[in-house]
Homo-oligomer: A and B are copies of this chain.
Amino acid sequence: MSRPGTARPAGGALPAGLAFRPAGASDWPLIWLFWRQVVAAGDTYCYDPAMGYQAGRQLWFGSPPDQVWLVTDGQDPATALGSYRLGPNKAGPGSHIGTASYMVSEAARGRGVGRAMVLHSLEQAGVAGYRGLQFNAVAASNVHAVRLYLDLGFTVIGTVPGGFRHPELGLVDLLIMFHEL
């Protein structure tokens, strides 16, 4: 049985200097610092790039049983390096499949934060009893993310042709990805 707060051994050890903890609404000011930059860029997430502070918090924290995690610098717990959310992808007869979203601080790129979050979320999804983890909208142009997800065992189960309006590239495909649990 795996323990919450640790990366699953199969995925490799947690990179040195990273720590996970559950996040609450009071952590939103920390998350918002990088979250808004990722969303405003409009090149990875299907969120309104102009979304404000309150709406963003509502979206990110959702409602039970959604959970939000924060990645901090192990040496400096007040420094947020990334955050992810995990919850049911659908309600009712679809609630046994989870979905997750990940945000990495620009300043923390290259430290393995994204990979650590995906591994952590797969573990947490298993703990929460989800039978699979589904990404509904991965921009095909987000090649780093796509490569990471494939590397961690996700497969592309569907493609929405031209489903993402990239600010520079125009219409690119949206990938739907899935990982059985």
Contacts and interface: CB of A to CB of B under 8 A. Distances in A.
Interface string A159-176: 111111111000100101
Contact of A180 (B94, B161, B174): B161
Contact of A94 (B91, B92, B165): B165
Contact of A132 (B90, B136, B162, B167): B162
A9 to B, nearest CB: 26
Interface string A123-167: 000000001101011010000000000000000011111111111
A22 interface: no
Contacts of A158: 157-159, 176
A45 interface: yes
A34 interface: no
A141 to B, nearest CB: 10
Nearest to A155: B161
Interface string A42-53: 110111110100
16 contacts: A42-B92, A45-B92, A46-B90, A48-B92, A49-B92, A93-B164, A94-B163, A94-B164, A94-B174, A131-B162, A132-B160, A132-B162, A134-B163, A136-B136, A157-B158, A161-B180
